[in-house]
Amino acid sequence: MQAALFESDISPNGDPNRVSKPWRILTSFSVVLLLVGYLILPMVFGNADDLRIDRTATAVVSLLFISASYGSSIVIAFFQRGRNLFLLRSLFRPYLAINLLGLFNVLLNVLARGLLPPSALCVVGLGLPSAFSLVYALAAYLIYRQYGSSQKHRAEDGTPLLSEEEMQRRQLLRLLQEGDRGSLSSASKDDTYRLEGFIPGLEPMQKTWDRLSRPSRWKSMA
């Protein structure tokens, strides 16, 4: 099952920026797992005497969700490293948003509940989303800088994004093809046979109109 998941990463339609359904499901599940982990984590801050669940188990489950989500993102980024559009739209930007949301949630709980100075668990809850926000923001920026949003091949058009070198190569190839078609058309015009020069007794057609000459029909009527 695991080998089939890693081998079927190319979509049936052949688009290099699209991945198979298992990878998309895994990416969505990892994003949701990270969100749930950062929503649970602030519950165990402080003493929490009125907490009806086990504080230690809740903290372990929360950190386990967060760690599993970050590990999944690393695996996805490694195996899908050639599909930058998928990584940008489905992995880096959602993870950046969830990390910022988790940082805001943790910071809000610390300030609203007066948990200053913060405990070791609060420091972990503040440090993890801060560090990974920078990582995902840098990765998204590098992909965005490489492709940009003003190129002709946009994701909304359903066509893969092309690098600047690839676009220049295709433009040069198009110009060369247009030049070849122009040379062939001019050569065909030069190779056209003229009957006037090869048939004896055939005079060239008159291209000018003699104003003094009138048709014979008019002369008979006169």
CA distance 92 to 77: 9
Give a yes or no: residue 212 inside a domain. Answer: no
Q: Is the dihedral of CA 157, 161, 163, 166 positive or negative?
A: negative
Concatenated DSSP letters of 29-98: HHHHHHHHHHHHGGGGSS--TT--S-HHHHHHHHHHHHHHHHHHHHHHHHHTTT-HHHIIIIIIHHHHHH
Residue 8, both tokens: 């079927």
CA distance 163 to 16: 13
pLDDT value at 96 more than 70: yes
- pLDDT, position 187: 54
Helix, strand, coil distribution of the chain in percent, nearest 5: 65, 0, 35
Q: Is the pTM of this model over 0.75?
A: no
- pLDDT, position 54: 82
Give a yes or no: residue 179 inside a domain. Answer: no
Give a yes or no: residue 66 inside a domain. Answer: yes
Give a yes or no: residue 114 inside a domain. Answer: yes
Give a yes or no: residue 9 inside a domain. Answer: yes
Give a yes or no: residue 40 inside a domain. Answer: yes
Number of domain units in the chain: 1
Give a yes or no: residue 103 inside a domain. Answer: yes
Residue 3, both tokens: 């080998």
CA distance 38 to 182: 64
Determine what percent of the chain is predicted with pLDDT higher than 70: 64
Whether residue 155 contacts residue 85, with contact meaning beta carbons closer than 8 Å, is answered with yes
- pLDDT, position 196: 47
CA distance 198 to 8: 68
CA distance 99 to 77: 17
CA distance 158 to 146: 18
Q: Which domain holds residue 31?
A: 2-149
Whether residue 80 contacts residue 150, with contact meaning beta carbons closer than 8 Å, is answered with no
- pLDDT, position 48: 59
Q: 52-56, 64-68, 71-75, 178-182: which range is least confident on average?
A: 178-182
23, 156, 145: which is closest to 83 by C-alpha? 23
Q: Which residue has the higher pLDDT, 200 or 92?
A: 92
CA distance 218 to 73: 96
- pLDDT, position 70: 95
- Rounded to the nearest 10 degrees, what angle do helices 55-79 and 120-147 cross at? 20
Which residues, including other chains, have CB under 8 Å from residue 130's CB and lie 6 or more apart? 99, 103
Give a yes or no: residue 29 inside a domain. Answer: yes
